Amino acid sequence: MPLDALSTARLLIVGDVMLDRYWFGDVERISPEAPVPVVRIQQSEERPGGAANVARNVAALGGKASLLSVVGDDEAGRSLLRLLAGGDIELCLHVDSAISTTVKLRVIGRQQQLLRIDFETLPSHEVLRHKLAAYVARLPDCDAVILSDYGKGGLAHIGEMIRMARERGKMVLVDPKGDDFSKYAGATIVTPNRSELRAVVGRWRDEEELTRKAEALRVELGLEGLLLTRSEEGMSLYHQGGVLHEKAVAREVFDVSGAGDTVIAALAVMLAGGASWVEAVHVANAAAGVVVGKLGTAVASRGELVAAMK
């Protein structure tokens, strides 16, 4: 397994960044005002989320990450910049004073998520157009592009981005969102989870029907591969060579939030470093097994990955 591929890849990550906030506390009683638990907050944490977490995973695995996105001119945006400034990530974060930085606030009581509150607005067209120019300028210096779509408006020009990258011979990996995947046509690979794929192709009765629907979508969109992440069922790659199934790594699942970020980061770093589809999916599956054993948005380091694969 050429894990050396991890250190040679240069990745350009574009998409929706966000600030993940965690409030941890104890639940000792039910509110007298409504049938809801009262959480006494004892600790809080902030972590980069969305495309920023993808970039963190690329860097943690040893790849060279460049992050292009939009934040608001606000406290959350400044916190995100501060958190990312200490890492090995080249930052190109445009500031849009007309929006609020996307924040996901999770309230955790007794190691269980009780509530999530989202704060978000869409970036302006002018900032997105400016980001497209910055994207073109950075394409020559990368081996592959990751487009991390969280549906927050940061990838309004995704079709153009895919076309530009492919014309320059770059691989494009997309973490998709929504029920219309036509905007991802021409990418190298998309990495939906089960609910995301179901929203596009409908339900399936068995493995045979799933394979038929996934392969039909792959061909329709002109993709080289479609990687379906299946939680406790592992993941399945549909590509020209057939279907490849990877069983989930047998370990306690603590939190699946952010696991998709780790999967696409590991997959991209491996493919950009010259690994085969089989090798890349195997490593991505092992990396996912590392992060689901952690609470909240997390990364899999190269050392953890090596240990997990042993």
Q: Report yes or no: 10 and 141 within 8 Å, Cβ to Cβ.
A: yes
The count of residues in the chain is 310
Positions annotated as catalytic residues are 261
Element (H, E) at 237: strand 235-239
Give the span between the Cα atoms of 280 and 165, in whole angstroms.
Answer: 21
Residues 284, 244 contacting (CB under 8 angstroms):
no
Angle at 68 between CA 67 and CA 69, to 5 degrees: 120
Instruction: Name the residue among 52, 20, 16, 53 with its Cα closest to residue 154.
Output: 16
In terms of Cα–Cα distance, which of 272, 308, 285 is closest to 229? 285
